[in-house]
Amino acid sequence: MICSTGQTPVLQEQLTNDKGQLTFVYKLHLIRKYLLKRRIAWVALLAVMLCTAMVLVVISVMGGWLTMFRNSFHGMTGDIVVQGHSMTGFPYYQEMIDKMPPGVQAAVPAIESVGLINIGGQIREPVQVHGIEIEKIGQVNDFAKSLHFQYELRKDQLLKQAEQPGVTAEQRQQLLDEAEHPTPTFDLLKDRNYQSLAGGAKDKGVRPGMIVSAILGRIFKDKNGKVVRQDVLYDLPVTLTMVRINPDEDIDTNDIAKPAFWIVDDSRTKIYQLDSNSVYVPFDFLQKQLHMDANGDEPARCSVIQIKAKPGQDLLTLRDQIQAVVDKVVNEQGISYQFPITVETWEQSQHEFLSAVEKEVVLTTGLFGIISMVAVLLIFCIFYMIVLEKTKDIGIIKSVGATPAGILQLFLGYGMAIGVVGAGMGFLFAYLIVTNINELHAWLGRQMGIVIWDPQTYQFDTIPNKINPHTAIWIVGVAVLSAVLGALVPAIRAASMNPVEALRYE
């Protein structure tokens, strides 16, 4: 059957498709021409780039800060904490551990106290003293992975051994497992001659080991970002001075403990609160020094029980079960109100910090998001000017058959092109800044004395330098959409122009 136009249906469809393809190619050509030739549009492109980069950098740093905060504190406290809120600790902790519900994988007691430290005859600032069962601590938290000698160096040695020729697959896997799951100790260092270092002290060879936090041990980063340690730190005798605090008694400043130690390792958790003034000593030794061990009718005491949940456990439900266990022991043993005890998940124990950081992240991101709306307004103004300038051209195009929909698509495509190119450049710019932000910060510090990221304020000694891929996709997508929205009103105006009036426009 022949159509009235003298063309077969197949030929007519082919001509229609060819016309559509030619129109599409012509639109792409115009968009490319406008993008390269209309330099005023480069201002809009630059605005999209800067806004995208700015929001990405802010969210990456602030969001990374929050993620680091959560991961680090979760890693150092365990999943659930039974916390005593008294300097005297609380009794019957072992009974609580023995009755833990099935959802608990491990529970380890610890002691927290304060004291004055003397390192090599120099009295330092007051320190937080942590008594830990170091062989068990890895069952509930990541403290072991913060150690220099017993994790970082040991891991490097094990990884090198795993790559040696002749190592079987089974041996390699065993070495890798040992590298990732260290079992630290307070054992004295084997390459130190403690007999000569301690002078005339009688206990020079039998003092227990101590682990100090990085900042307390004067461990720092040099101008190249390398961690520097002073080897002499491990040759200096150390003493702690602590006041014993006993239940039902006034504080006696003459009742002090003054044990001596050798430093055997250092801990760098990258959490400023822990790295600034913490020392770690054997749990049993500290318990005896503070008279918190069992004595006659008096049961042994600890300050905190750190708990690791089995995989898949709901922490809130498990917390309630542990609370029931604690309440039962308190009632059975008649534990006095002078030993206040709380049971919290790790998030609840750090709620004050987490809540403040989360609010700061939301506020900062929101403010920069509002500022970024300037890109939409700038694109609107620039496109409106382009439409006015190209009024006659639009009239000519429409007079030769261009449809309003085609004109609309042309200008929206132009806006999308600016959004895609600008957002892409913004992502690349942000990626370069974020991944090199610590080096840039160190350079600013050396050249200009500018310290933006103070670890004492922001808790961590490094700036977060990772971009979340999902977050980046959302931000880039919003940037492209914003560019299209900015071009929408001018595009509608161009599409609705009367070709005759457009040709008369001066």
Contacts 24+ apart (CB under 8 A), 477-482: 479/48, 479/51, 479/52, 479/375, 479/419, 479/422, 479/423, 479/426, 480/416, 480/419, 480/420, 480/423, 481/419, 482/48, 482/372, 482/373, 482/375, 482/376, 482/379, 482/419
Question: For position 10, what pLDDT does the model report?
Answer: 44
Categorize the per-residue pLDDT at 503 as very low, low, confident or very high, splitting at 50, 70 and 90: low
Same domain, 266 and 365: no
Same domain, 265 and 329: yes
Same domain, 251 and 378: no
Same domain, 398 and 445: yes
Would residue 416 count as lying in a domain? Answer: yes
Residue 298 is given by DSSP the state B
For residues 487 and 380, is the Cβ–Cβ distance under 8 A? yes
Question: For position 229, what pLDDT does the model report?
Answer: 78
b/e per residue, 354-366, with b = 16+ CB within 10 A? beebeeebeeeee
Would residue 12 count as lying in a domain? Answer: no
> pTM value?
0.73
Same domain, 128 and 266: yes
Would residue 344 count as lying in a domain? Answer: no
Categorize the per-residue pLDDT at 212 as very low, low, confident or very high, splitting at 50, 70 and 90: very high
More confident residue, 76 or 34: 76
Last residue within a domain, chosen from 339, 367, 399: 339
* Whether the predicted pLDDT of 348 surpasses 50: yes
More confident residue, 394 or 265: 265
* Whether the predicted pLDDT of 327 surpasses 90: yes
Categorize the per-residue pLDDT at 12 as very low, low, confident or very high, splitting at 50, 70 and 90: very low
Q: 209-213 and 260-267 as β-strands: parallel, antiparallel, unpaired?
A: parallel
Same domain, 397 and 466: yes
Q: Report the C-alpha gap between 126 and 200 in whole angstroms.
A: 27
Least confident interval from 149-158, 314-323, 351-360: 351-360
456 SS3 class: helix
Same domain, 28 and 98: no
Last residue within a domain, chosen from 339, 373, 404: 339
Would residue 258 count as lying in a domain? Answer: yes
Closest CA to 265 of 168, 149, 428, 106: 149
Same domain, 484 and 369: yes
Q: Which helix (H) or strand (E) holds 182?
A: none
Would residue 212 count as lying in a domain? Answer: yes
Same domain, 282 and 366: no
Question: For position 292, what pLDDT does the model report?
Answer: 94
Highest mean pLDDT among 38-47, 213-222, 466-475: 466-475
Same domain, 232 and 115: yes
Would residue 489 count as lying in a domain? Answer: yes
For 103, the token pair is 């959802």
Question: For position 443, what pLDDT does the model report?
Answer: 76
Give residue 238's domain range.
86-147+182-339
Q: Report the C-alpha gap between 316 and 320 in whole angstroms.
A: 6
* Whether the predicted pLDDT of 202 surpasses 70: no
Same domain, 374 and 432: yes
Same domain, 135 and 193: yes
| One-character DSSP codes across 250-292 | ---TT-EE--EEEEEEEE--SBHHHHHHEEEEEHHHHHHHTT-
Q: 127-132 and 278-282 as β-strands: parallel, antiparallel, unpaired?
A: parallel
Would residue 346 count as lying in a domain? Answer: no
For residues 423 and 479, is the Cβ–Cβ distance under 8 A? yes
Q: How many domains does the chain have?
A: 2
More confident residue, 404 or 204: 404
Would residue 219 count as lying in a domain? Answer: yes
Last residue within a domain, chosen from 293, 309, 339: 339
pLDDT tens column, 232-263: 888 888 999 998 888 877 777 788 999 999 99
Q: Which residue has the tokens 């006095």?
A: 336
Question: For position 200, what pLDDT does the model report?
Answer: 55
Question: For position 1, what pLDDT does the model report?
Answer: 43
Question: For position 18, what pLDDT does the model report?
Answer: 39
